[in-house]
Amino acid sequence: MPINFHDKRNRMTYTTRTADVSWLSLIEEHVGIAGKAIVDIGCGGGIYTKALASSGAAHVTGVDFSNEMLQGAARHCENLSNVTLQQGNAYNSGLPNHTFDIVLERALIHHLHDLHGCFQEAKRILKPNGVFIIQDRTPEDCLMPGDENHIRGYFFKKYPKWIDMERSRRHEAAEVQRSLVSNGFVILYTVQLWETRSIHQDLDALNRDLAQRTGRSILHELTDHELGELIMFINSKLKNSTAPIIEKDSWTLWIAVSK
Ligand SMILES: C[S@@+](CC[C@H](N)C(=O)[O-])C[C@H]1O[C@@H](n2cnc3c(N)ncnc32)[C@H](O)[C@@H]1O
């Protein structure tokens, strides 16, 4: 079963990290944050809402279809006066026309089937020349081989049966590009980013994190027994690695302007 965003037990799932410095530098360098009116659609626990709001954005609106996620985000972003959170859908956000300088959709589109409808909505709420930032993992990002940094690569080495499922729920880069262009966006940059997701002090700390299935969709598909076997497999691969274990994910970012 994939993670249920509407289950209150998952309320804090996407609040436990801070945005990686490499992510903030990339956004700063390619787009600029200071003074911007930003929407973070599919904001989850508000990790990136908070990072943008704390880095000079005039205002950040976090939107999510899950009330539970929004409650987590509210706790995560409490004390930030330039953050508003509201319930809304990526296809129908409820936000006004042509109001925002930047729309961010991070780790959202692999949950959506209708890219066209989602991109149309982003176009509707962006100002002319506003910037649309989409960040997700393509099949190529996900299926990169495992190593001491790309721990998730080992998931598919151990369980190749999940490769087809992963491919089927991820959008190919070419599909994202086609949909952006057909919705009136001009793509400025397509960037690959190795983003640090966690620093584990040692192998035991990594094991505990994996056992809790923290935010990793594929782990929610495994039985408890399969998860135990996976942890043993990863331990056999990493037994000689040096601490701390710096876990990274490969992401693709499409940065496009609304014309
Ligand atoms: C994997 S989480 C990513 C959260 C956050 N953007 C991050 O990167 O940490 C995906 C989020 O998208 C939300 N979501 C999924 N489908 C959605 C939709 N159709 N409209 C709005 N939010 C949606 C989920 O509730 C969840 O909070």
Q: Which residue among 3, 64, 85, 253 has the greatest number of ligand 1 atoms within 8 angstroms of its CB, and so is best to mutate?
A: 64
Instruction: Check if 106 has its Cβ closer than 6 Å to any atom of ligand 1.
Output: yes
Q: What distance lies between CA 156 and its chain's CA centroid?
A: 20
Say how far apart CA 51 and CA 35 lie, in whole Å: 14
Instruction: Check if 109 has its Cβ closer than 6 Å to any atom of ligand 1.
Output: no
Nearest ligand 1 atom, CA 47: 9
Instruction: Check if 115 has its Cβ closer than 6 Å to any atom of ligand 1.
Output: no
Instruction: Check if 89 has its Cβ closer than 6 Å to any atom of ligand 1.
Output: yes
Pick the residue whose CA is nearest to atom 26 on ligand 1. Answer: 44
User: From ligand 1's centre to the CA of 78, what distance in Å?
Assistant: 20
Indicate the CATH number of 8-140+166-200+248-258 among 3.10.20.80, 3.40.50.2000, 3.30.1490.20, 3.40.50.150: 3.40.50.150
- pLDDT in the model for residue 12: 67
Instruction: Check if 65 has its Cβ closer than 6 Å to any atom of ligand 1.
Output: yes
Say how far apart CA 55 and CA 49 lie, in whole Å: 10
Q: How many Cβ atoms sit within 10 Å of the Cβ of residue 56?
A: 13
Place of tokens 């299926």: 143
User: What are the extents of the domains in the chain?
Assistant: 8-140+166-200+248-258
User: From ligand 1's centre to the CA of 30, what distance in Å?
Assistant: 23
- pLDDT in the model for residue 2: 66
- Tokens representing 159 are 């369980």
Q: Which residue among 16, 65, 91 has the greatest number of ligand 1 atoms within 8 angstroms of its CB, and so is best to mutate?
A: 65
Instruction: Check if 14 has its Cβ closer than 6 Å to any atom of ligand 1.
Output: yes
- pLDDT in the model for residue 9: 72
- pLDDT in the model for residue 4: 74
pLDDT by residue for the chain (259 residues), tens digit each?
567 788 787 776 777 678 999 999 999 999 999 999 999 999 999 999 999 999 999 999 999 999 999 999 999 999 999 999 999 999 999 999 999 999 999 999 999 999 999 999 999 999 999 999 999 999 999 999 999 999 999 999 999 999 998 999 899 999 999 999 999 999 999 999 999 988 999 999 999 999 998 777 789 889 999 999 999 999 999 999 888 999 999 999 999 999 9
Classify the C-alpha dihedral 47-52-53-54 as positive or negative: positive
- 38, 100 Cβ separation under 8 angstroms: yes
Instruction: Check if 111 has its Cβ closer than 6 Å to any atom of ligand 1.
Output: yes
- pLDDT in the model for residue 1: 58
**Nearest partner of 61 among 82, 33, 91, 79, judged by Cα:** 82
Instruction: Check if 64 has its Cβ closer than 6 Å to any atom of ligand 1.
Output: yes
